Amino acid sequence: MPAPSPTSDVVPLHRRAARSLSRLPLAAIAFVLVAAVQSTYAAVRGVICSPDSCTYQAWADALIRLHFDVPAFVHATTSDYPPLLYVVWVLVVAAMRLALGDDWPTGVVVLNVLASAAAGALLVRLAQRLTGSRAAAAFALVLYLVSFDLTDWSRYALSDPTYLLLTLLAFVLAAHTLLGGRPRGAAAAIAMLPVLTFYRPTFIAMLPPLLAAAWLGLAPRAAESLGSVRGARRALAVVVAGSLAGLAAFAVLMREPQRWPLHAGAVLVRFTAGHWRLGEVIWDRPALYRPPPHTRLDFLSLAAVRLAAFFRPVSPDLEPHQAAQNLFFFVSAYALALYGVIAALRRPAWLDTGRRIVILASASIVVVVSTFHAMLEVDEDWRYRLPVLPYLVLLAAVGVAAALRRRPTR
C-alpha torsion angle, residues 149, 153, 159, 163 (rounded to 10) = 30
Spatial contact of 310 and 372, defined as CB atoms under 8 Å apart: no
* Per-residue pLDDT at 144: 98
Higher pLDDT, 337 or 405: 337
Average pLDDT value over all residues in the chain: 92
Q: Is residue 8 part of a domain?
A: no
> pLDDT at residue 107 above 80?
yes
* Per-residue pLDDT at 315: 87
Higher pLDDT, 205 or 350: 205
> pLDDT at residue 81 above 60?
yes
Q: Is residue 69 part of a domain?
A: yes
Q: Is residue 13 part of a domain?
A: no
How open is the CA angle 350-354-356, to the nearest 5 degrees?
50
347 closest CA partner among 391, 408, 390:
408
How far is residue 198's CA from residue 200's CA, in Å, rounded to a whole number? 6
Q: Is residue 17 part of a domain?
A: no
* Per-residue pLDDT at 8: 46
Residue count of the chain, please give it.
410
Q: Is residue 96 part of a domain?
A: yes
> pLDDT at residue 406 above 60?
no
* Per-residue pLDDT at 305: 98
> pLDDT at residue 6 above 80?
no
* Per-residue pLDDT at 15: 61
Residue 1: count of CB within 10 angstroms of its CB = 3
* Per-residue pLDDT at 357: 96
How far is residue 403's CA from residue 339's CA, in Å, rounded to a whole number? 9
Average pLDDT over residues 94-110: 97
Q: Whole domain around residue 345: which residue ranges?
A: 25-403
Q: Is residue 19 part of a domain?
A: no
Q: Is residue 408 part of a domain?
A: no
How open is the CA angle 270-87-201, to the nearest 5 degrees?
35
E strand or H helix at 17, and its extent? Answer: helix 13-23
* Per-residue pLDDT at 82: 85
Average pLDDT over residues 102-122: 98
> pLDDT at residue 398 above 50?
yes
Average pLDDT over residues 359-376: 98
> pLDDT at residue 264 above 90?
no
For the chain, the domain total comes to: 1
Higher pLDDT, 308 or 78: 308
287 closest CA partner among 277, 278, 297:
278
| Residues 26-68: tens digit of each pLDDT | 999 999 999 999 999 999 999 999 999 999 999 999 999 999 9
How open is the CA angle 42-86-309, to the nearest 5 degrees?
65
> pLDDT at residue 316 above 80?
yes
Spatial contact of 288 and 273, defined as CB atoms under 8 Å apart: no
How far is residue 147's CA from residue 41's CA, in Å, rounded to a whole number? 13
Q: Is residue 1 part of a domain?
A: no
> pLDDT at residue 407 above 60?
no
Average pLDDT over residues 4-24: 57
How far is residue 370's CA from residue 377's CA, in Å, rounded to a whole number? 10
How far is residue 346's CA from residue 367's CA, in Å, rounded to a whole number? 20
Q: Which of 220-234, 252-266, 293-307, 345-359 has the highest mean pLDDT?
A: 293-307
